């Protein structure tokens, strides 16, 4: 269950009149419905005093005459969350698909309800059911969701012999995924569609991804409730994205404004991406540094600041091709961005045209306590700025010179790239 913006709702744990006794119960239910529920879950649902919130499909799984008032999630979804919260402290039951805390409504409610105010009775997740059907150890499987999310999110996980379990958006997802896989050299990968798992109409269909792409895997529509498993098989044309920073320059569309892969690997090491952190990539050029930041962890975010419209569009294309479609782009001058940003970054990379000490100081002030700022310079003027910043703010300086092999007549020689000076500093926490 995915939810839109929840602006205006109380955050978890912020209410002054916190209720200690649990009033909210979240029950995970599968396609086996009432028969698959534990006695404890049945007793909760059967309470006539508690309204039952859920999707139409989930509510239909409860036999008639059992429990309190049934309320289908409205549109927008946030209105339903408000109704749940308005009932506090009276008892409320919420039905969720499978495990409420794995891409489920439980995660949404937990942003607004403290854990001591709710009881959760989880069911088996679609991931667990799919792995069980395939005989795959769940701990060795990559679990992804494209339900309400861009299909390109799958791209970083495409490696030969990788096993993926993917939550679909609807019945069109297997065909769309098959086309993406065929385009990236994974058309021979066995793709299994598991429909209505656990219910009386459960079906399983396996075919190469290329057959799903060509709409020849089935002669019938796929049920909207489906989960996909993928056993990746790369052909000789496959384009996989390495797990380490410093991906080849050729993987990015660029006009020459790109931190070369050897330098980029060091920049990412200095930026030190963690989990769920935000980077401001200033003067982003091709977007390569910000893209690699997001590839370091699926929960990371990059805001790429690039004033040139053609480069901003190029960044957008690169982000899609590299499987990080949520990268944000701000089309403004680097000197103006901190003035109107509503957030503070965990790290800043100044890679494009450092114009003076004032620019460095503004971005250093914007970084969260404990955050990192990394700047690169390839001109004498920019180097002078970061040398002065190092004298004021401390940190470390690194000078890199990279040479690449090149043909020299009938022989091989070395061609040197421009030297790059890197400055890295951490804001006191």
Average pLDDT over residues 74-82: 94
In DSSP notation, 327-392 reads -EEE-S-TTTHHHH-SS--SEEEE-S----HHHHHHHHHHSPTT-EEEEEE-SHHHHHHHHHHHHH
Could you tell me if 223 and 168 lie in one domain?
A: yes
- Cα→Cα distances 315→152, 283, 297, 321, 342, Å: 15, 11, 19, 10, 22
Could you tell me if 137 and 276 lie in one domain?
A: no
Q: Which pairs count as long-range contacts for 216-219, CB under 8 Å and 24+ apart, including other chains?
A: 217/174, 217/178, 217/191, 217/193
Looking at the domain assignment, is residue 7 inside a domain?
no
- Cα→Cα distances 65→76, 110, 238, 276, Å: 28, 30, 55, 45
**124, 157, 172: which is the final residue of a domain?**
124
How far is the C-alpha of 180 from the C-alpha of 228, rounded, in Å?
14
Could you tell me if 117 and 58 lie in one domain?
A: yes
Looking at the domain assignment, is residue 238 inside a domain?
no
Looking at the domain assignment, is residue 11 inside a domain?
no
**157 compared with 14, residue with greater pLDDT:** 157
Could you tell me if 226 and 147 lie in one domain?
A: yes
Helix %, strand %, coil % for the chain, to 5? 30, 20, 45
Looking at the domain assignment, is residue 239 inside a domain?
no
Looking at the domain assignment, is residue 14 inside a domain?
no
- Cα→Cα distances 274→239, 339, 372, Å: 26, 26, 11
Q: CB–CB of 185/233 below 8 Å? A: no
**Does residue 292 sit in helix, strand or coil?**
helix
Q: What digits encode the pLDDT tens for the residues 343-383?
A: 899 999 998 768 777 889 999 999 999 999 999 999 999 99
166: number of CA atoms within 13 Å, CB side? 32
**124, 153, 173: which is the final residue of a domain?**
124
pLDDT at 16 over 50: no
Q: What digits encode the pLDDT tens for the residues 284-315?
A: 999 999 999 999 999 999 999 999 999 999 99
Looking at the domain assignment, is residue 363 inside a domain?
yes
Q: What domain range is 320 assigned to?
A: 249-426
**Does residue 408 sit in helix, strand or coil?**
strand
Tokens 């892969």 belong to residue? 261
Could you tell me if 169 and 182 lie in one domain?
A: yes
Could you tell me if 306 and 418 lie in one domain?
A: yes
Q: CB–CB of 358/412 below 8 Å? A: no
Looking at the domain assignment, is residue 6 inside a domain?
no
Which residues partner with 361 through β-bridges? Answer: none
Q: What digits encode the pLDDT tens for the residues 168-220?
A: 999 999 999 999 999 999 999 999 999 999 999 999 999 999 999 998 888 89
Q: Has this prediction a pTM greater than 0.85?
A: yes
Residues 373, 290, 276, 111, Cα dihedral to 10°: 110
Could you tell me if 275 and 171 lie in one domain?
A: no
Q: CB–CB of 428/372 below 8 Å? A: no
Q: CB–CB of 94/121 below 8 Å? A: no
Q: Quick one: which of 323, 321, 325 has its CA closest to 304?
A: 325
**Res. 7 pLDDT band, cuts 50 70 90:** low
Could you tell me if 320 and 174 lie in one domain?
A: no
Q: What digits encode the pLDDT tens for the residues 122-158?
A: 999 999 999 999 999 999 999 999 999 999 999 999 9
Looking at the domain assignment, is residue 259 inside a domain?
yes
Could you tell me if 116 and 132 lie in one domain?
A: no
Which residues partner with 258 through β-bridges? Answer: none
Could you tell me if 214 and 119 lie in one domain?
A: no
3-state DSSP of 121-183? ECCCCHHHHHHHHHCCCHHHCEEEECCCCCHHHHHHHCCCCCEEEEECCCCCHHHHHHHHHHH
CATH number, domain containing residue 116: 3.40.1010.10
Could you tell me if 65 and 210 lie in one domain?
A: no
**106, 124, 142: which is the final residue of a domain?**
124
Please give the tally of structural domains in the chain: 3
Average pLDDT over residues 238-248: 94
Could you tell me if 380 and 399 lie in one domain?
A: yes
pLDDT value of position 35 = 94
Element of type H or E holding 217: none
């Amino acid at each position: 269950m995915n939810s839109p913006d929840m602006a205006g709702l109380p955050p978890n744990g912020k209410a002054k009149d916190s209720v200690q006794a649990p009033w909210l119960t979240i029950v995970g239910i599968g396609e086996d419905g009432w028969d698959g529920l534990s006695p404890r879950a049945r007793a909760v649902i059967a309470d006539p005093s508690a309204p039952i919130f859920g999707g139409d499909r989930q509510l239909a799984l409860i036999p008639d005459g059992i429990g309190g008032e049934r309320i289908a999630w409205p549109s927008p979804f946030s209105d339903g969350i408000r109704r749940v919260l308005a009932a506090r402290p009276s008892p409320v039951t919420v039905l969720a698909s499978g495990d409420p805390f794995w891409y489920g409504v439980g995660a949404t409610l937990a942003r607004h309800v403290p854990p001591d105010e709710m009881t959760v009775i989880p069911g088996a997740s679609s991931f667990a059911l799919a792995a069980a059907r395939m005989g795959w150890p769940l701990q060795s499987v990559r679990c992804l969701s494209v339900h309400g999310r861009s299909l390109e999110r799958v791209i970083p996980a495409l490696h030969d012999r990788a096993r993926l379990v993917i939550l679909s958006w609807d019945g069109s997802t297997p065909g769309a995924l098959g086309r993406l896989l065929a385009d990236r050299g994974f058309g021979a990968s066995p793709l299994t569609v598991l429909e209505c798992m656990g219910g009386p109409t459960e079906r399983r269909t396996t075919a190469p991804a290329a057959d799903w792409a060509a709409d020849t895997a089935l002669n019938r529509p796929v049920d909207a409730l489906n989960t996909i498993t993928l056993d990746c098989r790369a052909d000789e044309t496959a384009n996989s994205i390495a797990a380490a920073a410093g991906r080849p320059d050729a993987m990015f569309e660029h006009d020459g404004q790109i931190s070369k892969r050897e330098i980029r690997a060091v920049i990412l090491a200095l930026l030190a991406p963690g989990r769920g952190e935000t980077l401001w990539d200033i003067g982003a050029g091709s977007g390569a540094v910000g893209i690699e930041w997001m590839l370091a962890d699926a929960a990371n975010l990059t805001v790429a600041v690039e004033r040139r419209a053609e480069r901003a569009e190029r960044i957008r294309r690169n982000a899609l091709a590299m499987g990080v479609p949520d990268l944000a782009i701000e089309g403004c001058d680097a000197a103006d961005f901190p003035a109107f940003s509503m957030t503070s970054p965990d790290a800043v990379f100044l890679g494009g045209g450092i114009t003076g000490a004032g620019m460095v100081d503004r971005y250093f002030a914007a970084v969260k306590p404990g955050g990192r700022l990394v700047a690169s310079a390839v001109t004498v003027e920019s180097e002078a700025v970061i040398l002065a910043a190092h004298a004021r703010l401390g940190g470390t300086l690194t000078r890199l010179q990279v040479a690449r092999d090149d043909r020299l007549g009938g022989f091989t020689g070395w061609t040197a790239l421009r030297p790059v000076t890197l400055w890295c500093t951490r804001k006191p926490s």
